[in-house]
Amino acid sequence: MASLFSRREGSAHAEIEERRSATHESFLSHRAYFWARVSGFLSLFVVLTYVLVDVEPRHNGGSWYGYTLGTVGAGLIVWLSWLGVRKRRPTPGSWSLKGWTSAHVYLGMSLVVIGTMHTGFQLGWNVHTLAWVLMMLVILSGAYGITVYATLPQALSENRREMTREQMIESLATIDRQLEAAAQPLARKDADMVIATLEQDVFAAGIIARFRGPGGRDATRRALDHISTDRAYDDDADDLAQQKVRALLGKRAAQIDQIRRQMQIKALLEVWLYIHVPLTIALLAALTAHVVSVFYYW
Amino acid sequence: MSHVLLEKTDHLSDTIYKYQKGKHVMATPSSLVLRSDLGFEAGKREAILDTWDRQIADGKVTVRLNAEVTGIAGQSGAFALTLKDGSTIDAEAVVLAIGTQGNPNLLKLPGAELPHVQYQLDDPTAYVDEHITVIGSGDAGIENALGLAADAAQGNIVTILNRGTEFARAKGANVKLLEEAEADGRIFVRRETSPLEVREREIVLETRDGQQAIRCDRIIARTGSQPPRAFIEGCGVEFTSADRAAFPKLSPSFETTQAGIHVIGALAGYPLIKHCMNQGYDVIEFLDGNTGLKPADEPILAEKFAGLPGRHTVDEWLEIFRTRVIILQELSPLQMRELMLDSTVHAYARGEVIFTRNEPGSSMFAIAEGSVLVEVDPDDPSVTVPIETGSIFGEVGLISGRKRGSTIRAAEPTVVVEFSRLAALKLLATAPSANRAVNRISIERQVLQIFGAGLTPADIADLVEEAEVVSVPAGEVVIEEGAEDKDIYIVRVGSMVVEKDLGGKPVFLSYLPAGSYFGEMAVIDGSKRSASVRAAIKSEVIRFPGEAFNALLDAKPEIRERALADMASRREINDFIESRKASFGGAVDMYSQTAQFLVDNGLGEATDVLLIDEQLCVGCDNCEKACADSHDGLSRLDREAGRTYAHLHVPTSCRHCEHPHCMADCPPNAIHRGPDGEVVIDETCIGCGNCQRNCPYGVIRMDAKPPAKPGLLSWLLFGAGPGPGEASYAWRKRKAAEAGESAKLAIKCDMCSGIEGGPACVRACPTGAAIRVSPERFLTVARLEEEVD
């Protein structure tokens, strides 16, 4: 199809075009699952050799085979941790963070096999097993990360409805201003409910509330319930003002829900990093201790 | 010399006086030597005003403040200037340095002369308990209305009138505030309403439902302003054309057609301070009898011409260019000088390449000596077409904003003048004959380029003769599916989208960038139009009558063959869509709507745009951080802002338009198209903010370059500095206060020009959500296939 408008291009410019138009693939399917294939073959190779190579008296980290796996594993761990630096340093060069993430994800998974085979299933209460446990926890938290990265962005996009964070906050402030003006004609008790709504600190919620998301009971919903359902308002003289306040309270509740949902999804997308990164640092420390102690007690 | 400096206001240098406090004033062009006795170098507004006031006082300049001139009568040697207070001043010569501001459009209605109609609002708090009507839907009108209604205690009833339904000319933030004020009942907004008559305490309005009179104690009219042309024409001065943007006709000594009256500065077409100061100096020298004075730009031009063969003086070269190049023949010596300041000259040896095919470039060339050869066939450099002395080339890049269509070499030792895009556009706007010549040549060349080798200008003379340039507003249909008309079109400016009606819904077939042609199928096989073509953005097309085209095809069978081959591939697209329609109806709809969404968001005029796939974006903002860290610590993109359709998000980031709106009005001409097609702002930016206002996509920001941050590792290990990405405003402000503030300049995406590896936003995206695309690669049916598979 592209033949229609294809123009024969000068090679220099074709190259620029090539470089610029990053192919539209996710980090998981990057380069047609290149790193998944590398990681798969590596794991398979390790499992096969583990079974086929006869180590006397039995598989353990101290055999030549164990040392080999240990070196590969430790190298991988250090390289995988380097993603944290790579990500924050946009130096020139034709690297792609997507490629790095892809390799990080798949090679990180292969560590389950490499690390475990390296132990030879000799686990105990010592610094060596601590390093293995930390590694498994890091990989586990990473697996959670892959899952949310693959599933949540769409929900984040849909909830945002083209609004930025600032716009959401601004929208809430606008509704509050309009609510204040609209509530002036209300009866004392109704007005108090609205004032309670306006005084409510929407963001003083804490970590638990961040994960709970929208739909919680708060002053806005209480006011909405009070003003909309507690009375027969057909014969109410102030009905017009009430309707306006009711509509605004409804808008406010919806706006708060959108903000809370946004915070919830962002929290779900980010929370694992608060485990993944500190555990990685702990892992690097434990790994160092493991390597030093192995050579010290040689 | 007996003189008096007349000033309308109660202080000198009003334009700079009105700048915001503490604004950094730039002194460009830096290559120009300052001749004036008054000092001027880049610095804070206050320092500059101070220097001038002091030097004016020291120099014993006769100044008369609060002296607005209302009319100039008389002839050279005996002018009489009438002032607003009724007094007159006699003068032998007059120099106008009044700029182009401060002349509001007046209301043209019965009663507009009544005293409660005003054109300015100095202090919105000065009015209480009044019914005030604001006329004008721009920023000034909205800001005035908001100011008057800001404090409810003032008790003003404020109404704003808008002829249309949208406040399209105003800033988004202002419109939002106005809409809020309307929702709160603080301001009455009357849409589709225009004023008919002003009466005492009343205004009559024309509304959608008929006439209506409302109470009105005061009218504030903010309907824009005009350069004070009527006043100047009233003095007997002629302008170069009736065009709104035209300037007065001037001699090399800045004298107008009314002998004795001189015009300098912005009104003469020179908006920069330094130009104006030099011109003032020159004019006074001329008046003092120093006729041998060379213009201040003489050394700049001498340097430009230094590399040319033959030892001609600057004046001789200017005369050579003017007489030999067809499109320059109408220009005055002053216009020639100005044009040459924005242009460059080159000398080429025989065989040297002037530009190559597919190189980005929007300048136009004229041949002053020698001739050039155009390589029309990309596969065979030996097939060439000559262009002779006096003619032009490169005009396609200028008009369409697209890459160069062919390689051009010098056929013999050649001297060419290269007009920058801005200089060329100015030339075309001021010299109608140049415009006509360029139009004709460009149509001819475009036809030759599209239909390829084997055609000579003589073959297509009849076709070109009958061609017509038609401008098409955005969205207008050029060809209607099923119609029987037989014309052929070439997209000259802008772009088109091709759609086919399937089951009552338009299905997007393809995107036609400038330089493409369409409509040939119906001519060649006599069928009905098989698809509709409409303008994606405001465009221009060249229309050729089908018969003339058919005559050409009859005479040249090989052209018919090529056209048939092209037709086959277009037919293929049609058939493809038809055949797949049944199997993926939903996908076709989705694809069409997505394509339409992208066109609506500026892809139709983009050359390279950042898109974010929100099915992959985790909102980490690493793109913004990488952008900031690759460019002086300020991000040039806002990921979250912008429109989204079907999870495809167009963030606030430069689209590198074919005809960049930002380039329209840049006083130092600091915006260029770079070697990869990127639109960049260079270091001569003076921070005026015109580009920011002109950009319809809001991608340019004005900000000061922040001081350097501590390195990544010291942040990672010791928490020093603000970390990766753009530092917070508070941090930048604090550090800038320590390091000394720098001027706020315009910054925008430069597509990471000069950075190995290309755009950092895309390289730094961890999930593959950020992609950069050019519209003709992205808006193809091929994508549909990918999506379905």
Q: Which residue of B has its CA nearest to A25?
A: B768
The partner residue sitting opposite B180, judged by closest CB among A87, A90, A174, is A174
Question: How distant is the Cα of A84 from the closest Cα of chain B, in angstroms?
Answer: 10
Best to test chain B binding among A157, A177, A245 (most B CBs inside 10 Å): A157
Q: Partners of B560 in the beta sheet?
A: none
φ, ψ for residue B451, nearest 5 deg: -90, 5
Residues B303 and B273 in one domain: no
The partner residue sitting opposite A21, judged by closest CB among B183, B643, B772, is B772
Residue B589 lies in a domain: no
Q: Which residue of B has its CA nearest to A98?
A: B766
Residue B618 lies in a domain: yes
Residues A35 and A178 in one domain: no
Q: Which amino acid appears at position A139 of this protein? A: I
Residues A46 and A138 in one domain: yes
| pLDDT 10s digits, B420-439 | 887 888 788 777 778 888 88
Best to test chain A binding among B357, B767, B779 (most A CBs inside 10 Å): B767
Q: Count of CB atoms within 10 A of residue A212's CB? A: 15
A121 burial level (CB within 10 Å; 0-12, 13-18, 19+): exposed
- Which of B242, B262, B287 finishes a domain? B287
Beta carbons of A149 and B615 less than 8 Å apart: no
Beta carbons of B716 and A88 less than 8 Å apart: yes
* Residues in Cβ contact with B210 at an 8 Å cutoff, skipping those fewer than 6 apart: none
Residues A123 and A192 in one domain: no
DSSP letter string, B664-695: GG-TT--EEE-TTS-EEE-TT-----HHHHH-
User: What's the gap between Cα A45 and its chain centre?
Assistant: 31
Residue A205 lies in a domain: yes
B147 vs B602: CA distance, rounded Å: 34
Residues B87 and B179 in one domain: no
| pLDDT 10s digits, B86-118 | 899 999 999 998 877 666 778 888 888 888 888
Question: How distant is the Cα of B762 from the closest Cα of chain A, in angstroms?
Answer: 7
Sign of the dihedral through C-alpha B343, B347, B350, B355 = negative
Q: Which residue of A has its CA nearest to B784?
A: A1
Residues B626 and B640 in one domain: yes
Looking at residue B242, what DSSP letter applies?
Answer: S
Those of residues 70-109 in A touching chain B at CB distance below 8 A are: 84-85, 87-90, 92-98, 100-101
Cβ contact B649:B659 at 8 Å: no
Question: How distant is the Cα of B183 from the closest Cα of chain A, in angstroms?
Answer: 8
Q: Count of CB atoms within 10 A of residue B475's CB? A: 13
Q: Which residue of A has its CA nearest to B566?
A: A4
Beta carbons of A1 and B782 less than 8 Å apart: yes
Residues A215 and A265 in one domain: yes
pLDDT of residue B781: 55
| pLDDT 10s digits, B365-382 | 999 999 999 887 778 888
Confidence label for B776 from pLDDT (cuts 50, 70 and 90): confident
Residues B659 and B777 in one domain: yes
B766 vs A98: CA distance, rounded Å: 4
Nearest to B92 by CA among B256, B287, B229: B287
Best to test chain A binding among B404, B566, B763 (most A CBs inside 10 Å): B763
Q: Strand B392-393 and strand B701-704: pairing?
A: unpaired
A76 vs A82: CA distance, rounded Å: 10
Residues A143 and A186 in one domain: no
B603 vs B588: CA distance, rounded Å: 19
Residue A218 lies in a domain: yes
Q: Which residue of B has its CA nearest to A95?
A: B763
Residues A130 and A55 in one domain: yes
Residue A7 lies in a domain: no
Residues of chain B neighbouring A149 (CB-CB closer than 8 A): 618, 767
- Which of B236, B254, B287 finishes a domain? B287
- CA dihedral of residues A131, A137, A141, A143 (deg, nearest 10): 100
Residues A136 and A276 in one domain: yes
Q: Is the pLDDT of residue B305 over 70?
A: yes
Residues A127 and A175 in one domain: no
Beta carbons of B358 and A21 less than 8 Å apart: no
Residues of chain A neighbouring B358 (CB-CB closer than 8 A): 7, 9-10, 13
Question: How distant is the Cα of B782 from the closest Cα of chain A, in angstroms?
Answer: 6
Residues B764 and B708 in one domain: yes
Low-confidence ranges of chain A (pLDDT < 70): 1-23, 204-205, 229-238, 298
Q: Where are the alpha helices (DSSP H) in B365-418?
A: 395-400
Helices (H) and strands (E) in chain B, counts: 24, 41
Nearest to B165 by CA among B132, B198, B208, B196: B208
Instruction: Calculate the average pLDDT of chain B.
Output: 84
Residues A84 and A145 in one domain: yes
Residues B77 and B192 in one domain: no
Beta carbons of B572 and A1 less than 8 Å apart: yes
Residues A141 and A187 in one domain: no
Does residue A5 sit at the B interface (CB-CB below 8 Å)? yes
Residue A125 lies in a domain: yes
Residue B419 lies in a domain: yes
**Total number of domains constituting chain A:** 2
Residues B206 and B280 in one domain: no
Residue B108 lies in a domain: no
Question: How distant is the Cα of B326 from the closest Cα of chain A, in angstroms?
Answer: 32
Cβ contact A115:A286 at 8 Å: no
The partner residue sitting opposite B767, judged by closest CB among A9, A92, A101, is A101
Residue B650 lies in a domain: yes
Residues B278 and B338 in one domain: no
- This model of the complex carries an ipTM of 0.89
Residues A286 and A140 in one domain: yes
Does residue A24 sit at the B interface (CB-CB below 8 Å)? yes
B624 vs B196: CA distance, rounded Å: 51
Cβ contact B534:B477 at 8 Å: yes
Does residue A30 sit at the B interface (CB-CB below 8 Å)? yes
Residues B411 and B270 in one domain: no
Maximum average pLDDT range among B96-105, B124-133, B572-581, B770-779: B124-133
Q: Which two tokens stand for residue A89?
A: 């340093």
SS (H, E, C) A181-248: HHCCCCCHHHHHHHHHHHHCCCCCCHHHHHHHCCCCCCHHHHHHHHHHHCCCCCCCCCHHHHHHHHHH
Residues B330 and B431 in one domain: yes
User: What's the gap between Cα A124 and its chain centre?
Assistant: 33
Assign residue B121 the CATH number of its domain.
Answer: 3.50.50.60
Please compute the mean of the pLDDT values over residues B773-786 and round it to a whole number. Answer: 65
B726 vs A59: CA distance, rounded Å: 52
Residue A182 lies in a domain: yes
Residues B469 and B518 in one domain: yes
Does residue A25 sit at the B interface (CB-CB below 8 Å)? yes
Beta carbons of B180 and A88 less than 8 Å apart: no
- Which of B167, B190, B221 finishes a domain? B221
Residue A98 lies in a domain: yes
Looking at residue B248, what DSSP letter applies?
Answer: B
| pLDDT 10s digits, B147-201 | 888 888 888 889 999 887 777 767 667 788 888 888 888 898 988 888 988 988 8
Assign residue B532 the CATH number of its domain.
Answer: 2.60.120.10
Beta carbons of B782 and A17 less than 8 Å apart: no
Cβ contact A86:A99 at 8 Å: no
Q: Which amino acid appears at position B108 of this protein? A: K
Question: How distant is the Cα of B84 from the closest Cα of chain A, in angstroms?
Answer: 48
φ, ψ for residue B34, nearest 5 deg: -80, 125
A166 burial level (CB within 10 Å; 0-12, 13-18, 19+): exposed
Q: Is B489 helix (H, G, I), strand (E, B) or coil?
A: strand
Residue B452 lies in a domain: no
Nearest to B443 by CA among B470, B473, B477, B476: B470
The partner residue sitting opposite A9, judged by closest CB among B358, B627, B643, is B358
The partner residue sitting opposite A266, judged by closest CB among B619, B647, B780, is B619
Strands of B48-140, DSSP E: 63-64, 69-75, 78-83, 88-91, 94-96, 117-118, 131-135
A–B interface: beta-carbon pairs under 8 A = 162
Beta carbons of A97 and B766 less than 8 Å apart: yes
Beta carbons of B771 and A24 less than 8 Å apart: yes
φ, ψ for residue B377, nearest 5 deg: -105, 115
Helix (H) or strand (E) holding A75: helix A64-81
Beta carbons of B184 and A181 less than 8 Å apart: yes
| Angle value at C-alpha A14, between A13 and A15, nearest 5 degrees | 90
Domain ranges, residue B616: 594-788
CA atoms within 13 A on the CB side of B433: 7
Best to test chain B binding among A28, A35, A91 (most B CBs inside 10 Å): A91
| pLDDT 10s digits, B743-752 | 889 999 999 9
Residues B724 and B660 in one domain: yes
Residues A31 and A170 in one domain: no
Q: Which residue of A has its CA nearest to B775?
A: A21
Q: Partners of A190 in the beta sheet?
A: none
**Total number of domains constituting chain B:** 5
Beta carbons of B619 and A156 less than 8 Å apart: yes
Nearest to B363 by CA among B427, B319, B318: B427
Domain ranges, residue A146: 27-150+272-296
Confidence label for B590 from pLDDT (cuts 50, 70 and 90): confident
Cβ contact B516:B438 at 8 Å: no
Question: How distant is the Cα of B784 from the closest Cα of chain A, in angstroms?
Answer: 11
Cβ contact B272:B668 at 8 Å: yes
Beta carbons of B618 and A152 less than 8 Å apart: yes
Beta carbons of B772 and A22 less than 8 Å apart: yes
Residues of chain A neighbouring B643 (CB-CB closer than 8 A): 162
